[in-house]
């Protein structure tokens, strides 16, 4: 740790980075009854902390290596940090980015002087291609997180926190993907102030550090979610894990709805919209306060970035209330007769209906998909369900049902009386030309598509839910098709939301 501390203190970052401010989140502090502080790395010139490590690594290159140039693989913030560092140091930079990378990120890298090469569908594809170019041209590869000089550069965030905030500080919450930022910060803060708890926060669908901590060694996740793309890493770094296993006090995981709620919390206090990965720290603080019942403490979150695509804001806003447990999403059966919706509204009393989806199905019962504002979070939702049950209404809680929230709420009323043997599969398609044709080519003319719903959130992937008519005799062939398509998928045929609103009566 002493070696890392010396490297962090001598790291060269301020040619391009600023000493980002620490702000108090007044509204959130009052609500959580703890003092909540924000370390604003989203205010860096590239709207992310990543330029610190990139510049520190590149500033240490020999003249010969600098003359050959630098290459990196990235789909986002690291790419922009490399490009800006290269422009400042006069070093040629090549960034290999997946072809699925949104245009806004490609243009941001090019505007800062980086040469962009598009290759492959994933980060791993891009990284493999970058290493081939290293062998061919002699470029220096700058890793996004698993490099000691990069770790030292990111560690300067910890130096600033202890210098800027000399008072009581109980815990620091840091988003973790590959672990470069947390490793640098934890090495320094634990060396200087071992009393401060270092809490790693991961997206629950890319929690590679939590898995490594449990196993006592690095493990590779078979699949990672892409919503918090800034931390969508399937394996924590080798160098970073060596530090993290010694210096991290706790790992907290948060889901998509909790991340969206945290983005809203930061906006309410700063009027800044962060990227999903940038809000992990606040999401972690909220869960930590709830789980440990802490009160009157000083808790700091690193807001790591604000490179969010505008197209994703609709999805973020849609899910924020769910993440704050202020909305219940229910499927309710009411009588199919005039006045029944009015009677249902009376039962809700002063609760506000946030969403109501319905289409006539039969003359006896109406299936409605409804969003209802609730107080007191989980307990308020359970009280509502109990009240509806006491009034003789059958209600299913869809608040945590991903297929219901992403797809079915937009498809209510799509029942068909003529669909047999329908299998419902939820896919994640790479957002690039040819992805749909690959799906259709492999499907061929074997089975009929009976339903198709696509929804994109401005990310590198699109969400698809498809109904495919598959006779029982074709089950093995259909499973082979799913393996060949090689897109992440989930069978939703038995999902209650599908069966109530879209399945054959």
Domain annotation covers residue 265: no
Domain annotation covers residue 315: no
pLDDT 10s digits, 109-146: 999 999 999 998 767 788 899 999 999 999 999 999 99
C-alpha angle with apex 373: 372 to 379, nearest 5 degrees? 100
Asked if 58 and 150 count as a contact pair (C-beta separation under 8 A), the reply is no
**DSSP class of 196:** S
Confidence of residue 12 (pLDDT cuts 50, 70, 90): very high
DSSP assignment string, 337-364: STTHHHHHHHHHTTPPEEEEE-----SS
How far, in Å, are 299, 306, 339, 387 from residue 345 at the CA level? 42, 40, 10, 13
Alpha-carbon distance of 302 to 157, in angstroms, equals 9
pLDDT at position 343? 79
- Which tokens belong to 198? 């270092």
Domain annotation covers residue 4: no
How many domains does the chain contain in total? 2
User: Do 497 and 424 lie in a common domain?
Assistant: yes
pLDDT 10s digits, 372-389: 888 777 888 898 999 999
Query: Which of these, 317, 280, 278, 264, lies nearest to 457 by C-alpha position?
Result: 317
Give me the sign of the Cα torsion angle 480, 485, 487, 492.
negative
Whether the model pTM is above 0.75: yes
Q: Which of 370, 400, 430 is the last residue of a domain?
A: 400
Alpha-carbon distance of 169 to 112, in angstroms, equals 37
User: Do 396 and 421 lie in a common domain?
Assistant: no
pLDDT 10s digits, 443-493: 777 888 777 777 555 556 677 888 888 999 999 999 998 888 888 899 999
User: Do 394 and 425 lie in a common domain?
Assistant: no
Model confidence at 230: pLDDT above 70: yes
pLDDT at position 435? 67
Q: Which of 400, 430, 452 is the last residue of a domain?
A: 400
Q: What is the domain extent for residue 490? A: 417-501
Q: Which of 400, 426, 446 is the last residue of a domain?
A: 400
Rounded to an integer, the average pLDDT of 419-437 is 77
DSSP assignment string, 34-83: SEEEEEEGGGSTTSBTHHHHHHHHHHT--HHHHHH-EEEE-SSHHHHHHH
β-bridge partners, 461:
430
Q: Is 218 left (phi over 0), alpha (psi -120 to 50) or beta?
A: beta
pLDDT at position 47? 93
- Which tokens belong to 267? 């906006």
Residue 28: CB partners within 8 Å, gap ≥ 6? 36, 265, 268, 269, 282
- The percentage of residues in the chain with a pLDDT greater than 90, rounded to a whole number, is 58
pLDDT at position 310? 82
Domain annotation covers residue 366: yes
C-alpha angle with apex 470: 467 to 473, nearest 5 degrees? 165
Asked if 370 and 398 count as a contact pair (C-beta separation under 8 A), the reply is no
Domain annotation covers residue 421: yes
pLDDT 10s digits, 280-323: 999 999 999 999 999 999 999 999 999 888 878 888 887 787 77
Alpha-carbon distance of 69 to 134, in angstroms, equals 10
Domain annotation covers residue 362: yes
User: Do 495 and 426 lie in a common domain?
Assistant: yes
pLDDT at position 176? 97
Domain annotation covers residue 117: no
Length of the chain: 505
Residue 445: CB partners within 8 Å, gap ≥ 6? none
User: Do 389 and 422 lie in a common domain?
Assistant: no
Alpha-carbon distance of 159 to 4, in angstroms, equals 12
User: Do 456 and 487 lie in a common domain?
Assistant: yes
User: Do 338 and 383 lie in a common domain?
Assistant: yes
Which CATH number goes with the domain that contains 341?
3.30.70.260
Q: Is 247 left (phi over 0), alpha (psi -120 to 50) or beta?
A: alpha
Alpha-carbon distance of 332 to 159, in angstroms, equals 54
Domain annotation covers residue 452: yes
- Which tokens belong to 337? 């007769």
Model confidence at 434: pLDDT above 70: no
Alpha-carbon distance of 223 to 221, in angstroms, equals 5
Looking at per-residue confidence, does 36 or 410 come out higher?
36
Say how many C-beta atoms besides its own lie within 10 A of residue 460's C-beta.
Answer: 25
Which CATH number goes with the domain that contains 479?
3.40.1020.10
pLDDT at position 411? 78
């Amino acid at each position: 740790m002493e070696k890392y501390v010396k490297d962090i203190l001598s790291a060269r970052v301020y040619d391009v980075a600023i000493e980002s401010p620490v702000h108090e989140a007044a509204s959130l502090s009052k609500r959580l009854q703890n003092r909540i502080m924000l370390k604003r790395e989203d205010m860096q010139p590239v709207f992310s902390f990543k330029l610190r490590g990139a510049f520190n690594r590149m500033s240490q290159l020999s003249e010969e290596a600098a003359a050959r140039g630098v290459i990196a693989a990235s789909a986002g913030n690291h790419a922009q940090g490399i490009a800006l560092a290269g422009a400042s140091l006069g070093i040629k930079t090549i960034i290999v980015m997946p072809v699925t990378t949104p245009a806004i990120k490609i243009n941001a890298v090019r505007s800062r002087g980086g040469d962009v090469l598009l290759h492959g569908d994933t980060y791993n594809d891009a990284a493999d291609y970058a290493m081939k170019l290293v062998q061919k041209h002699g470029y220096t590869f700058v890793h996004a997180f698993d490099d000691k000089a990069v770790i030292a550069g990111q560690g300067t965030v910890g130096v600033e926190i202890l210098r800027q905030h000399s008072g009581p500080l109980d815990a620091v919450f840091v988003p973790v993907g590959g672990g470069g930022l947390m490793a640098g910060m934890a090495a320094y803060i634990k060396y200087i102030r071992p009393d401060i708890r270092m809490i790693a926060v991961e997206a629950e669908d890319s929690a590679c550090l939590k898995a490594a901590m449990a196993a006592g060694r690095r493990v590779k996740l078979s699949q990672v979610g892409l919503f918090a793309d800034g931390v969508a890493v399937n394996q924590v770094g080798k160098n970073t894990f060596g530090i993290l296993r010694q210096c991290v006090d706790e790992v907290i995981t948060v889901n998509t709805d909790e991340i969206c709620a945290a983005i809203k919390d930061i906006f309410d206090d700063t009027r800044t919209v962060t990227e999903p990965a940038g809000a992990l720290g606040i999401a972690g603080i909220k869960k930590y306060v709830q789980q440990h019942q802490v009160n009157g403490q000083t808790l700091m979150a690193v807001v790591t970035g604000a490179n969010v695509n505008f197209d994703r804001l609709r999805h973020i806003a849609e899910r924020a209330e769910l993440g704050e447990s202020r909305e219940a999403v229910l499927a309710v059966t009411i009588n199919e007769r005039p006045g029944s919706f009015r009677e249902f509204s009376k039962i809700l009393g002063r609760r506000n209906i946030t969403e109501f989806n319905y289409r006539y199905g039969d003359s006896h019962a109406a299936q409605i998909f409804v969003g209802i504002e609730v107080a007191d979070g989980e307990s308020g939702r359970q009280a509502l369900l109990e009240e509806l049950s006491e009034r003789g209404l059958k209600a299913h809680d869809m608040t945590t049902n991903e297929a219901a929230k992403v797809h079915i709420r937009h498809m209510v009323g799509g029942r068909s009386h003529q669909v047999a043997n329908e299998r419902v599969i939820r896919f994640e398609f790479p957002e690039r030309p040819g992805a749909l044709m690959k799906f259709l080519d492999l499907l061929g003319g074997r089975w009929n598509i009976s339903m198709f719903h696509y929804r994109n959130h401005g990310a590198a992937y699109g969400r698809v839910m498809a109904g495919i008519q598959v006779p029982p005799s074709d089950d093995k062939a259909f499973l082979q098709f799913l393996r060949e398509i090689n897109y992440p998928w989930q069978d939703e045929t038995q999902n209650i939301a599908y069966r109530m609103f879209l399945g054959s009566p």
